[in-house]
Amino acid sequence: MCGIVGYIGKNNRAGEVLLDGLKRLEYRGYDSAGMCVMDEDRQQTFKAIGKVSMLEKKIAKSCVESNIGIAHTRWATHGKPSIKNAHPHTSGKIHLVHNGIIENYQQLKQDLANKGHKFYSQTDSEVVAHLIDEYNKKYDFEDSVTHALTEVRGAYALVILHEDEPQKMIVVRNSSPLVIGVADSEFIVASDASAIIQHTSRVVYLDDGEIAVMTPDTYYVKTFSGKNKRKKEQILDWNDEQAKKEGYAHFMLKEIFEQPESVSDALRGRIIAKDGMAKLGGLTEVEKQLRTIERIVIVSCGTSYCAGLVGEYMLEEYAGIPTEVEYASEFRYRKPLVDKKTAVLAISQSGETADTLAAIREAKNKGALTLGIVNAVSSTIARETDAGVYNHAGPEIAVASTKAFTSQLSILVLLTVFLGRQRNMSLTMGKRILSELQRIPKKIDQIFEGEKDIKRIAKKYSKYDSMFYLGRKYNFPIAVEGALKIKEISYIHAEGYPSGEMKHGPIALIDKDFPSVVLAPKDSVYEKTISTIEEIKARSGKVVAIATVGSKDIENIANDVIYIPKTLEMLTPLLMVIPLQLLAYYAGVTKGYDVDQPRNLAKSVTVE
């Protein structure tokens, strides 16, 4: 969850690169930040509570010129945000930054304390610095690191410096992401590529159990056991401009308005219109195996889980494949029943979500075919699944996911057609779904024309403490996602519920101070949804309805109405979610919150 940056090169610009990298990684954590730079004569460490801007103020008072350094922006796991708990952590001449969780840190800490080590923080991370320092009494820098790793259990990405070797940096990865940017006369290490892309598009992804040893001139990679590894450079498929606000007030708003483009990118080159068929190149190698699949299990977390719920409806109704959706965080703990006739599909924007990765590994151990829908090219989930599909949505910087979600839905539609046409889906149905799917980007643009009304409604309802989000069939998962968004961004308590379940208990909450957002497209369950609205109104509840253009009758019973264009029932989630994203965004802005970096949250959850 934390953001790590490291720099080593022939130029004295470590401070500049590290600070800029932290700003670009701040969506991964913003409880505190720190930096350590050094040269042949000295090392300097700076720490600050809060956002990177606070660290920047501290550094501005000092001259930071160096060709090597490490930096960190923290999302707290062990120990509250404080100067002592901020990274980098130090023991003797060892300085390091860490992302992940050291599972056996308490035992290690006690053993080290018995040997005379004194600890200054509450973190698990500091223990690793002391452990390396302890081994450094007997071994050189590199060997101290490798010996220490034999004792450490858990998930970790580490970037380590030694004051006696100021022209060397050691980088370690185990179940927590790290990527190396390769430029002319310099290398940049980071938790993800957003901190690298402004310097170079050439990158090397470290795999679990690998160590990179770097100097200003070169680097090499080896395993924890000491075996050298040859790593292939890759080229990032997005550019620096995509990671900038480009005039928008927030990244979240920019990414909401990018959705016509990101949906189009998800579809580009993947539709064979005349055959009513989807072409998914990433599934080519397992196409025959997919024909024999009898069951699909979707594993994911957060917003990606909501996408999976929509996919369940699609895959069962149109592909005819029994489908289940599991929280990835629970999947491997309940002894899942999967076999070679099961496909386990992971959905993850970052491709590094720890719980989802663990679920995929469990599924592979049980013989299942593993698939991925991932936005980050060459991420761990993308590399470890048997096959998969990339979103091509570009970088998503705001913590709350928007464009990644609709691109995931788009790919789930393509996957449904792909698998459905392998089975009993007719040519006519395939062509109909794909033809309408291609119209979705323009229909999203039409929703944006009503942005002012959505903003007005968001301001009106931002004063309430709790809300219901209600939907049926394909739009029940969108109700869950809408509730999640407004919780994340405006801190309003909200519950996403199936409309039909409201009267089985939750209706007791309805009164004049408990409004509901009801998703009411003109679909096969429209009349039942109208009945739900009537039930709420009979109890003095206020209703915001999201309805299909032309449904004027709904204006007679709802307090406020937002309209979406008409589309196929299975595609309504792609349109329905847009107003909910804007409602959450403008509610958060109205309340004065930082909508790009909500409290307690981080973009990529790489720890359990």
Tell me which residues are annotated as active site: 2, 603
Q: What share of the chain is helix, strand, coil (3-state, %, to 5)?
A: 40, 25, 35
The encoded tokens of residue 277 equal 């068929």
Among candidates 395, 380, 318, 329, which has minimal Cα distance to 356? 329
DSSP helix/strand/coil, 220 = strand
Helix (H) or strand (E) holding 52: helix 52-60
Please give the backbone phi and psi of residue 12, each rounded to the nearest 5 degrees, phi first.
Answer: -85, 65
| DSSP 8-state class, residue 207 | P
What whole-number distance in Å separates Cα of residue 313 and Cα of residue 293? 17
What whole-number distance in Å separates Cα of residue 242 and Cα of residue 392? 12
Cβ contact 381:299 at 8 Å:
no
Judged on CB neighbours under 10 Å (0-12, 13-18, 19+), 41 is exposed
Q: Where are the alpha helices (DSSP H) in 224-353?
A: 251-257, 259-267, 287-291, 302-314, 328-331
The number of beta carbons lying within 10 Å of the beta carbon of residue 545 is 23
| DSSP 8-state class, residue 88 | P
The encoded tokens of residue 204 equal 């090397």
Among candidates 75, 24, 65, 74, which has minimal Cα distance to 47? 74
Cβ contact 108:151 at 8 Å:
yes
* Bond prior to 88 in cis (omega within 30° of 0): yes
The encoded tokens of residue 24 equal 């670009």
What whole-number distance in Å separates Cα of residue 53 and Cα of residue 20? 11
End-to-end CA distance of the chain: 10
C-alpha pair distances (Å), 4 with each of 176, 287, 358: 11, 38, 22
What whole-number distance in Å separates Cα of residue 561 and Cα of residue 516? 12
